[in-house]
């Protein structure tokens, strides 16, 4: 059943190669991949958590398989659409192969009008996403035993809050749980195209966090000398740097790093200018090679801010600690960081170095994850997202290339994030006549009166704005939507409140 998706990936790759790849690019990629495969045959790194890797891979594989079998199964179902007992046959196949009860309103009357396969496809993606989210909140497949001590660890590094903004690209959606191996509940994650995060949004979060520290001593008392850490995560592709880097920065890694850095500095300046009396935050700039998940962390300069040109690469750390004793790992990695930049050894940066060492240590497991399960380089080095997630929320999406995020409150204010998403899905789906499935989402706090009703109004409003921004695709049924809300105070799963694939809804061919 996966053959269709792989074939599709191959076709997409072929289409791209006709357009942008040169023979030199392909040769370079082959050399790159061959080198990794050769290294792969050796044993795993002594610092790698093999059991965690196995569990993460099992979760990733089965979650993605559920999405990837939709297209081949629907192709099979399509063959029977003119049969007398089509609805019965389609339901049988849906139950057997997708574990889904297909919607009768999309299966009936196929003797009059052709089956709306695009809408049925989107419905299956949405239903699969709902099952995926339900499992995430009920079974907690990514929870780790070590999560409980995480807040104590970050406070020992001098921080009380971690606020990360990766690029919205789906190839970074697993940044927290996989690439950096941090507990998703312990890190605020808000994704933006090009990691160009909303400074005002972060400022608002900072005020909220500091207020809670003052009034409730949560997560710790305001008298503790800890700081708010804001990190931006950009990305690049080492094998195809000019084609598979960050779409929002024209595939230019330097521009991606500079763009993210400019937002970090603006946020820091914003905090200092708005709240004097020594108020400040710490900054971190991280790059991810989306081919193999190797990170680079920019070293702090003498002011403690990330140095755009000086960074430590996790592959160097991986190689240098190849025979390290796990008990010495933190010291060895800290020494490597200090060698890289003497400015870093000052007392001022001690906590930051400790945190950097932890991230580099954790990334060693992820480097082996890609080496062991993907031959050292993902086969889908480009976009292969299964749907767009738009709005506020999506804590449950911690997997690579599953979702393109557009974190926004209004389509108009974050139009670039939405446009990049539709551009990506034009290449993945729309060009082939398949719709872009868009999950429109708004999380709310159920303890605030009227919050759910406002969240529902918000997703309806976002849906209208999407239809207005992309009228042609909407008219042709090439953008399909599902509207969901979630009470994030109750730790419940998502609640579906509407969408274009529901009976009698707009957003498709009629």
Residues that bind Zn ion (CB under 5 A): 167, 169, 246, 248
Of the two residues 167 and 360, which places its CB atom closer to Zn ion in the complex? 167
Of the two residues 245 and 306, which places its CB atom closer to Zn ion in the complex? 245
135-145 burial, b at 16+ Cβ within 10 Å, e below that, comes to: bbeeeebbebe
Q: What angle do CA 230, 236, 241 make, to 5 degrees?
A: 160
Residue with tokens 């749980």, as numbered in its chain = 177
Of the two residues 167 and 179, which places its CB atom closer to Zn ion in the complex? 167
List CB contacts of 428: < 8 A, sequence separation 6 or more: 12, 383, 384, 385, 436
CB of residue 299 to Zn ion, shortest distance in Å:
23
CB of residue 258 to Zn ion, shortest distance in Å:
13
Question: Alpha-carbon distance 378 to 448, whole Å?
Answer: 44
- HSE on the CB side for 87, CA within 13 Å? 9
**Cα→Cα distances 293→52, 299, 360, Å:** 16, 19, 12
Of the two residues 66 and 248, which places its CB atom closer to Zn ion in the complex? 248
Of the two residues 53 and 175, which places its CB atom closer to Zn ion in the complex? 175
Cβ distance 144 to 52 under 8 Å? yes
CB of residue 300 to Zn ion, shortest distance in Å:
24
300-330 burial, b at 16+ Cβ within 10 Å, e below that, comes to: bbeebbbbeeebbbbbebbeebeebeeeebe
499, β-bridge pairs = 482
CB of residue 196 to Zn ion, shortest distance in Å:
9
Give, to the nearest 10 degrees, the angle between helix 350-374 and helix 329-340. Answer: 110
Question: Alpha-carbon distance 261 to 363, whole Å?
Answer: 22
Q: What angle do CA 160, 162, 164 make, to 5 degrees?
A: 165
CB of residue 212 to Zn ion, shortest distance in Å:
32
Cβ burial, residue 104 (10 Å; 0-12/13-18/19+):
exposed
Cβ burial, residue 109 (10 Å; 0-12/13-18/19+):
exposed
Other C-beta atoms lying within 10 Å of the C-beta of residue 288: 27
Other C-beta atoms lying within 10 Å of the C-beta of residue 260: 32
Catalytic annotation present for 43: no
Among 248, 291, 253, 242, smallest CA distance to 22 is for: 242
Of the two residues 248 and 422, which places its CB atom closer to Zn ion in the complex? 248
Of the two residues 158 and 389, which places its CB atom closer to Zn ion in the complex? 389
Cβ distance 455 to 433 under 8 Å? no
Q: Which of 169, 198, 291, 487 is catalytic?
A: 169
CB of residue 246 to Zn ion, shortest distance in Å:
3
CB of residue 43 to Zn ion, shortest distance in Å:
34
CB of residue 290 to Zn ion, shortest distance in Å:
9
Of the two residues 237 and 349, which places its CB atom closer to Zn ion in the complex? 237
Of the two residues 127 and 169, which places its CB atom closer to Zn ion in the complex? 169
CB of residue 393 to Zn ion, shortest distance in Å:
20
Identify the sign of the CA torsion 316, 400, 413, 447: negative
Q: Estimate to the nearest angstrom the gap between the alpha carbon of 177 and the chain centroid.
A: 10
Q: Active-site residues: which are they?
A: 169
């Amino acid at each position: 059943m996966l053959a269709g998706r792989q074939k599709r990936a191959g076709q997409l790759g072929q289409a791209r190669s006709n357009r942008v790849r040169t023979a030199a690019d392909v040769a370079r990629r082959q050399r790159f991949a061959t080198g990794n495969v050769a290294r792969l045959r050796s044993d795993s790194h002594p610092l790698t958590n093999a059991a965690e890797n196995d569990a993460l891979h099992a979760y990733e594989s089965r979650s993605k398989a559920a999405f990837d079998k939709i297209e081949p199964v629907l192709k099979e179902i399509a063959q029977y659409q003119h049969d007398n007992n089509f609805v019965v046959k389609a339901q049988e196949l849906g139950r057997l192969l997708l574990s889904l009860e297909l919607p009768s309103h999309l299966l009936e009357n196929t003797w009059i009008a052709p089956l709306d396969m695009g809408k049925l496809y989107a419905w299956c993606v949405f239903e699969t996403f709902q099952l995926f989210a339900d499992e995430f909140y009920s079974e907690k497949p990514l929870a780790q035993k070590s999560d409980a001590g995480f807040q104590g660890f970050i406070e020992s590094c001098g921080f009380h809050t971690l606020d990360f903004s990766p690029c919205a690209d789906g190839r970074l959606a697993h940044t927290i749980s996989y690439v950096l191996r941090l507990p998703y509940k312990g890190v605020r994650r808000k994704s933006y195209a090009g990691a160009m995060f909303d400074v005002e949004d972060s400022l608002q979060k900072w005020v909220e966090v500091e207020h809670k520290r003052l009034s409730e001593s949560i997560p710790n008392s305001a008298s503790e000398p800890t700081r708010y850490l804001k990190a931006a995560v950009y990305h690049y592709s080492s094998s195809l740097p000019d084609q598979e880097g960050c779409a929002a920065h024209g595939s230019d890694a330097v521009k991606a790093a500079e763009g993210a850095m400019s937002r970090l500095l603006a946020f820091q300046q914003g905090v200092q200018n708005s709240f004097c009396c020594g108020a400040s935050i710490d900054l971190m700039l991280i790059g991810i090679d989306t081919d193999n998940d190797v990170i680079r962390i920019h070293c702090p300069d003498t002011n403690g801010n990330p140095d755009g040109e000086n960074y430590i690469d996790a592959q160097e750390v991986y190689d240098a600690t190849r025979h390290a004793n796990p008990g010495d790992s933190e010291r060895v990695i800290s020494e490597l960081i200090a060698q890289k930049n003497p400015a870093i050894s000052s007392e001022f940066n001690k906590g930051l170095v400790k945190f950097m060492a932890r991230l580099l240590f954790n990334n060693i497991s992820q480097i082996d994850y890609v080496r062991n399960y993907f031959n050292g380089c993902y086969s889908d080095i480009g976009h292969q997202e299964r749907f767009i997630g738009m709005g506020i929320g999506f804590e449950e999406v911690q997997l690579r290339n599953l979702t393109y995020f557009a974190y926004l409150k209004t389509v108009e204010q974050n139009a670039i994030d939405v446009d990049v998403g539709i551009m990506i899905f034009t290449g993945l789906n729309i060009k082939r006549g398949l719709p872009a499935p868009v999950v429109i989402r708004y999380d709310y706090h159920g303890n605030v009166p009227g919050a759910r009703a406002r969240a529902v109004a918000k997703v309806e409003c976002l849906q209208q704005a999407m239809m207005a921004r992309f009228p042609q695709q909407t008219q042709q049924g090439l953008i399909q939507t599902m509207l969901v809300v979630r009470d994030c105070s109750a730790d419940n799963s998502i609640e579906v409140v509407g969408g274009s694939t529901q009976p009698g809804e707009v957003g498709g061919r009629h």
